Structure 1
Amino acid sequence: MSDGVEARDNEEKPVTRFSRGRLSRGRGLRKTTGCLTCRKRHVKCDEVKPVCGGCNRTNNVCHYDNKKSKTRVTQSSTRDRVENATPLQAEAEVSEDIGSTFDQLNNEVSALMTEPQAQNLSQENQHTVTTISNTTPCPHRDNYSMLDPEVNTPTDNNILNRVADFHFTHAIANLNNRGAPSTTSSNHNVENATARWVGLLFQDAVMQNEGLWNMNFEAEGFNIFGNSVAHSPVDSPELNEQCDLDRAANSPENPYLSERHPVLGQDQILEKRSWISESPIAILTHEHIAFETFVKHISEWMDLFDPNKSFAIHVPHLAVHNVGLMNAILALSVRYMSLNPSMKSMHKFAPNDALQYYYKTLHYIQQAMQYDTYKTSLELVATSLIISTYEMLDGSSKDWERHLHGVFWIQRSQVIHGDSKGLRQAVWWAWLCQDVFAAYLEKRKPFTFWRPTRNLDELSPHELAARAVYYFAQVVGYCAFEEVEAGKRDVLPRIARGTALRESLQLWRRHLTVEFKALPLMPPAQKEVFEPLWIHPPAFGVAMQLFHASNILLSLHCPILGDLRMYSNLRKSLNESIRAICGIAMALDDFASSLICSQCLFIAGLPLESPEQRCFVLGLLDRCRQRAGWPIRSLSDKLMNTWRSMD
């Protein structure tokens, strides 16, 4: 009996554990004190106040943040509550934390600016805090991971990102100035995704460290209508309103036209007039040149796989009644023309001329974000893609990648994909062409995870051509760095995945129509390294290039389990794809296909060993670059560096 009692007592006593007095590695070892300047420079701070020793030696401004630890705990607890909350509960939780962090953000931003800029920002910030505290809760940048389970970015403590957060919050404050936000989760996601993209735009403006801070939009007479005529309709308001109601009630059944006339309530129709100009927007003479360059030239990039030519036909008509879209077009066109001085034009543009239109676009979006009808409009969707193309021309791969991700947020929140019909579908395919290019160069997965629902035998020839971009995106994802590393640990699933992709490509090839076959072509005057192949229209030729580029990437990245015969067959397949890509490139001489053609040529050149073939591929790459005026960094140089590393 006593033994049982003694055993029970031993069970109830807590086990005593001894340690050597070390702090946990997870917490307590990293210092969170010190001045902001030393922490930004990643140097040790002696914490002497009011000016520490490091700042005294370097003559830097020394500033301490006494609320840092408290703010960090608050943000952490808020993030935990947000992850387990509904969208509306998450808004309320995060909005409680916004006001407490504005003082800290003011001080950090001021340390990066000149004194006049800091004073202006302080006044603007005070107004924004008042606006937010007196309105309904607004979303914050940290809770956007709820929109996409694949995107779960931790809080970034970089000061430039926090500067963007301030402008993002300022834009959100404008959303709340007109009515209560929508209570549906879809509208909540649309609002969050669009606002997050706006945050990226303002972060870029801060990184420029000029321009936006010094522009006086009011002095230039800038308004979201486009001109003063739009303030007062030229016809009777009652008559215009009735016409709008009749048009909305009789929405076209054609899916390509129904998106232009969505069914709107009377309040929405009146609200839409607040950001649309009823009369055409007046632009200057040199702006006409830039606008015409976009319509007749640059839009061909985006319309390569769109038989309706939406960016050349539909988007310009939207732009003449929308200031934001018009300025985005002008920014892209002026930037492109400044990078290509050889273009024939009566006006020569400098590289910085595009910045004023870029900043005007940001200003317009910030003002128009208060209208729900704008956040789901065709104008905003087109503007987002054009700004992404602007970043593509700018030459910074990281900035371009961030904007491609921003367009992805907007598209997913509005359920835009490759079968959306109309302009939204055209925007999606143009975005995917950009995304796969950037993803391959950065060795990452494309952002899209859409899966087509229609079978290949349901597609038209133009839709079959566009589907080649989709399969190429799948192969690029297969070749991403993380997938390659995972395949090294487990080879068999990677081989199975590669085999499945090959079968999908071959199934696509079996469904091709006669339009994808080569047409007769006059033989060249002298023998060439490769035989030219003429496939018309160019989009179909590019689709065949993408098919063969996908086969090359699979051959280079898929492990082989077989004998010498399998290796020989693989080598024959590689040579066939290389000849096809180079032969099609020899016959392509248009501007629209040059971008994707150059990427396929780059992939075709990777396994080449013959000096003659290498030199010929470099010549084809240079021809594509001359036609397109892009990329800024030559793919020829990148390909030669790859060859040097192989040799």
Structure 2
Amino acid sequence: MSESPRSVARVRKSKGKGLRTRTGCTTCRERHVKCDETRPVCRACQRGNRPCQYTTAQPSLGSSDSSTIVYVPSTSNEIDQSTTIPAETSTTKTAALGTRHQHSRSVDDTYTAGVDETSMTYPDNRDVNQRIQSISANDNFGFPTLEPTALNTTSPASTASGHLYSAEVAPLRWLNLLRRDASASDTYPQGQGYADVDHSDSADQNQTTGHPSFTPVNVPGVRLRPDESYNIEGFLDLSDPESKLLRHFVEKISTWIDLTDRDASFASNVPTMALKNRGLMLALLALSARHQSLLLTTENANRPDRTVAVQYYHETLQYLQTAMEIPEYLKSDELLATVLLISTYEMIDGFESGWERHLKGVFWIQRSQLIHGEYGGLKQAIWWAWLRQDIWAAFRSHRVILSFYTLKKECSELDRWELTNRVVWLLGQCISFGSDSEVEAGKSNVQQRIHRAAFLTARLDEWWFYFAPYRTELPVQWPEGSAFKPIWINPPSCSAAVQIHYFARIMLAVHSPVVSGLKELERLQQTLNDAINYIGGVACTTTNTAATIISTQCLFAAGLNTRDLAKRDQIVQLLRAHQSCTGWPVHDLARDLQAEWAAESSPMTAGT
């Protein structure tokens, strides 16, 4: 009997590096050969005289096309030539050898978010600077692409995710958002009227040429040189109507932005800066003209048409496109002030979702320069003004605020102005606490949410204690038929701070989980009622324009959470009185409240 052949054990491939299918060149991965990933040709392909290819993604604006870099070594085991082959299908198609393709590494200008803003560092962006230098002025403002491939990254979705942009990249990203939205919503050729605008809320003006007496500040017709200053020598020459717009900004609008700034930077420093910087002046005039077009007072009978404001707005974007060629301008105070004025313009213009997107762009710019609420100077004032805008936008959208900066000082170290800013920051935390995302996340971790509510309540109690010496309440007679007892608090910044404090209390009372039964529920309801009464009482006596803006926001929050019909009626009256005083917002906020009340009382939501 013959001996059966001896069975040969199957030799299994190594589980080492050679079996990996995500690293190495394509040839080695297909052959399950260990690849040392040497470029342009790995050693395994060089020894075997095989083509060595690497597949890389070529990111482009709105595209996900890819290409394959193929390196074919010659018979003498030396690198010959290479060419780039488009990846048309899943099978790589090779083409005739062409000239050597210099494969450049895609520059990633981003870091993972979630780090402390005070310790962020950024890479060198020489390629971005070269791109900035190559941008030319576009006289017809046709909105060409500003984004190089290196900038084609996702925007931050929240405070805890997304990307950080360098100080050179962030302004370009923000300007691209503005240009794209302006191009999509408005068709405005330079030097002509703004024909397809709703003029129902503006003075009766010529819709073809705009207001005849308003001539925009001349924007430079040629591209600024990299070594040229973005500020002019001397001062800009303004026409009489433009001088009136500048005065209106200083006397009225600047108080909105300077509400919590002891230095009143936008009433004092910014106008002086604007007289030497065309872009800043254009943004200032756009904001002032738009605000005047909204006011319906007898003194403002000859107010400019909205066309004028839109014209200044587009000329501002033109100037920014040109001035951003100068690297120093990208980190200047002039740019930051211009950005804030444009954001304020869009807020009062009713830009809605576009304004929200642009707020995120402002967040990129400030974060790229490590600007925060304790930075100091004009940059700090701009940060706080931006935060107040973002808080309102976040409240209306039920989202978290964009900034996650944590203030370092204790309340005991703060003066009146710093305490006023502190309560703004606390309101931002409470807005985030009541956002849809945090409420949903709290369902799976109720205990953590209870601790968070207790922490914020303690911080508000602490703030109220230290702010007491600055809170002067004057006696006011309770008028007959009023649902709220009038409360007079002076000065206006303190009046706004108290209303903001109770706005934050409302957010906590509404969104805090109730786990200890009826007593806890009654306590939260009492807190809610007290906050509504205090906001309504202060609103009855608020006459300062800047404080009225804050009062409008707080009244809306109070109205959302009261079921008392008398209080609802008076809140509607107060909202409309506030809006006629400030011109903001452009739509009827009281009507939004009434829609919310109607939805609340409908049979579909009665059991919710």
Query: TM-score if structure 2 supplies the norm length?
Result: 0.71
State how many pairs are aligned. 484
Q: Does 1:526 align with 2:519?
A: no
* Larger Rg computed on CA atoms: 2
* 1:195 alignment partner AA: L
Secondary structure of residue in 1 paired with 2:477: coil
Residue in 1 that maps onto 2:421: 466
Residue in 2 that maps onto 1:483: 438
Residue in 1 that maps onto 2:65: 72
| From 548, 556, 568, the counterpart of 1:594 | 548
Residue in 2 that maps onto 1:507: 462
Residue in 1 that maps onto 2:528: 574
Aligned runs of 1:121-132 on 2, under 5 Å? none
Aligned runs of 1:271-420 on 2, under 5 Å? 274-342=229-297, 344-345=299-300, 347-420=302-375
Relative to structure 1, the CA distance from residue 195 to residue 148 in structure 2 (aligned partners, 3 Å threshold; closer, same or farther) is: farther
* 1:632 alignment partner AA: V
Deviations along 1:276-333, one digit per CA (max 9) or x if unpaired, are: 1121101112112211111111111111111211111111111111100000011111
Comparing 495-504 with 72-81, which one deviates more in the overlay? 72-81
State the 1:489 CA deviation: 3.0
Residue in 2 that maps onto 1:189: 166
Structure 2: how far apart are the matches of 1:603 and 1:569?
Answer: 19
1:388/1:403 contact within 8 Å kept: yes
Residue in 2 that maps onto 1:259: none
Relative to structure 1, the CA distance from residue 89 to residue 307 in structure 2 (aligned partners, 3 Å threshold; closer, same or farther) is: closer
Structure 2: how far apart are the matches of 1:296 and 1:221?
Answer: 21
| From 370, 373, 376, the counterpart of 1:421 | 376
Relative to structure 1, the CA distance from residue 605 to residue 367 in structure 2 (aligned partners, 3 Å threshold; closer, same or farther) is: same
Secondary structure of residue in 2 paired with 1:486: helix
Q: Does 1:203 align with 2:180?
A: yes
* Larger proportion of helix: 1
Residue in 2 that maps onto 1:9: 10
Structure 1: how far apart are the matches of 2:505 and 2:6?
Answer: 74
Structure 1: how far apart are the matches of 2:63 and 2:555?
Answer: 55
State the 1:73 CA deviation: 2.2
Deviations along 1:602-628, one digit per CA (max 9) or x if unpaired, are: 111222222112111111111211111
Relative to structure 1, the CA distance from residue 85 to residue 437 in structure 2 (aligned partners, 3 Å threshold; closer, same or farther) is: closer
Aligned runs of 1:237-248 on 2, under 5 Å? none
* 2:521 alignment partner AA: Y
1:225/1:276 contact within 8 Å kept: no
Secondary structure of residue in 2 paired with 1:535: strand
Aligned runs of 1:603-618 on 2, under 5 Å? 603-618=557-572
Relative to structure 1, the CA distance from residue 291 to residue 278 in structure 2 (aligned partners, 3 Å threshold; closer, same or farther) is: same
State the 1:633 CA deviation: 2.0
Aligned runs of 1:426-441 on 2, under 5 Å? 426-441=381-396
* 1:509 alignment partner AA: W
State the 1:274 CA deviation: 2.2
Query: TM-score if structure 1 supplies the norm length?
Result: 0.67
2:125/2:168 contact within 8 Å kept: no
Secondary structure of residue in 1 paired with 2:337: helix
Gaps spanning 5+ residues in structure 2: where? 16-59, 69-85, 88-102, 112-121, 135-139, 194-214, 602-608
* 1:575 alignment partner AA: N
Secondary structure of residue in 1 paired with 2:399: coil
State the 1:635 CA deviation: 2.0
2:286/2:312 contact within 8 Å kept: yes
State the 1:476 CA deviation: 0.5
Structure 2: how far apart are the matches of 1:197 and 1:385?
Answer: 12
State the 1:194 CA deviation: 1.0
Gaps spanning 5+ residues in structure 1: where? 15-66, 100-116, 154-185, 232-269
Structure 2: how far apart are the matches of 1:4 and 1:541?
Answer: 96
Secondary structure of residue in 1 paired with 2:467: coil
Deviations along 1:95-135, one digit per CA (max 9) or x if unpaired, are: 99xx9xxxxxxxxxxxxxxxxx8xx97xx97xx9xxx9xxx
State the 1:376 CA deviation: 1.3
* 1:381 alignment partner AA: L
Structure 2: how far apart are the matches of 1:374 and 1:488?
Answer: 47
2:484/2:536 contact within 8 Å kept: yes
Structure 1: how far apart are the matches of 2:255 and 2:272?
Answer: 16
Q: Does 1:141 align with 2:141?
A: no
Aligned runs of 1:49-88 on 2, under 5 Å? 72-73=65-66, 82=107
Comparing 270-279 with 68-77, which one deviates more in the overlay? 68-77
Secondary structure of residue in 1 paired with 2:528: helix
Relative to structure 1, the CA distance from residue 225 to residue 276 in structure 2 (aligned partners, 3 Å threshold; closer, same or farther) is: farther
* 1:411 alignment partner AA: Q
2:159/2:401 contact within 8 Å kept: no
Aligned runs of 1:215-226 on 2, under 5 Å? 222-224=218-220
Structure 2: how far apart are the matches of 1:616 and 1:201?
Answer: 38
State the 1:395 CA deviation: 1.0
Structure 2: how far apart are the matches of 1:547 and 1:381?
Answer: 28
Structure 2: how far apart are the matches of 1:91 and 1:145?
Answer: 22
Structure 2: how far apart are the matches of 1:416 and 1:145?
Answer: 19
Q: Does 1:619 align with 2:596?
A: no
Deviations along 1:391-427, one digit per CA (max 9) or x if unpaired, are: 1122132111111111111111111111121111111
State the 1:89 CA deviation: 8.5
Secondary structure of residue in 1 paired with 2:246: helix
Relative to structure 1, the CA distance from residue 284 to residue 3 in structure 2 (aligned partners, 3 Å threshold; closer, same or farther) is: farther
Identity %: 32
Secondary structure of residue in 1 paired with 2:303: coil
Task: Please give the root-mean-square deviation of Cα atoms over the aligned residues, in Å.
Answer: 4.0
Secondary structure of residue in 1 paired with 2:261: coil
Secondary structure of residue in 1 paired with 2:412: helix
| From 558, 569, 580, the counterpart of 2:512 | 558
Deviations along 1:187-212, one digit per CA (max 9) or x if unpaired, are: x8111011111112211331244224
* 1:629 alignment partner AA: G
Relative to structure 1, the CA distance from residue 522 to residue 70 in structure 2 (aligned partners, 3 Å threshold; closer, same or farther) is: closer
Structure 2: how far apart are the matches of 1:286 and 1:279?
Answer: 20
State the 1:492 CA deviation: 2.1
Relative to structure 1, the CA distance from residue 304 to residue 89 in structure 2 (aligned partners, 3 Å threshold; closer, same or farther) is: closer
Secondary structure of residue in 2 paired with 1:191: coil
1:224/1:324 contact within 8 Å kept: no
Relative to structure 1, the CA distance from residue 588 to residue 80 in structure 2 (aligned partners, 3 Å threshold; closer, same or farther) is: farther
Structure 2: how far apart are the matches of 1:71 and 1:469?
Answer: 42
